[in-house]
């Protein structure tokens, strides 16, 4: 990956660089990828980000401080509010990507708004501690 990025940065006037180094190192990015086979672009991106993150790490305690995590990582808060007592319960989940349903959306902003839109859970979905 470093070789490819160096080539891209050294010759921006060419407009593109054939990703030969990436192609011949697919097995290092995702061992199940096979040269010449069609693969999912999202899956390739996720494995590439993970491989870059691992290359930046020397100790797992620094996982949140790498350049890759600073660019791609986020934290999602999920809040459940009891409709009877209004008590709120929060959970926090780290993510490197969000899977948005874009089929019914006219824009990324609309898809994001739908993703974080409040929803009412069924009667058996949440048990209040009070």
Say if residue 8 is in the same domain as residue 68: yes
Range of the domain at 80: 73-120
Say if residue 54 is in the same domain as residue 93: no
Residue 129: inside a domain, yes or no?
A: no
- Average pLDDT for runs of 10 along the chain of length 130: 77 77 80 78 86 75 74 90 85 90 90 89 74
- Is 79 strand, coil or helix? strand
pLDDT at residue 25, as a whole number:
79
Specify the pTM. 0.61
Pull the structure tokens for residue 82: 């009891």
Contact 100, 108 (CB under 8 A): yes
Query: How many domains is the chain partitioned into structurally?
Result: 2
């Amino acid at each position: 990956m470093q070789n490819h990025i160096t080539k891209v940065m050294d010759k921006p006037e060419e407009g593109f660089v054939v990703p030969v180094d990436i192609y011949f190192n697919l097995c290092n990015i995702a061992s199940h990828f096979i040269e010449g086979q069609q693969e999912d672009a999202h899956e390739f991106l996720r494995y590439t980000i993970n491989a870059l993150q691992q290359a930046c790490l020397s100790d797992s305690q620094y996982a949140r401080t790498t350049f890759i995590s600073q660019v791609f990582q986020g934290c999602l808060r999920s809040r459940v509010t009891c409709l009877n007592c209004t008590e709120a319960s929060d959970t926090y989940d780290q993510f490197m990507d969000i899977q948005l349903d874009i089929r019914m959306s006219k824009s990324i902003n609309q898809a994001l708004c739908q993703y974080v839109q409040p929803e009412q859970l069924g009667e058996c979905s949440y048990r209040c501690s009070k």
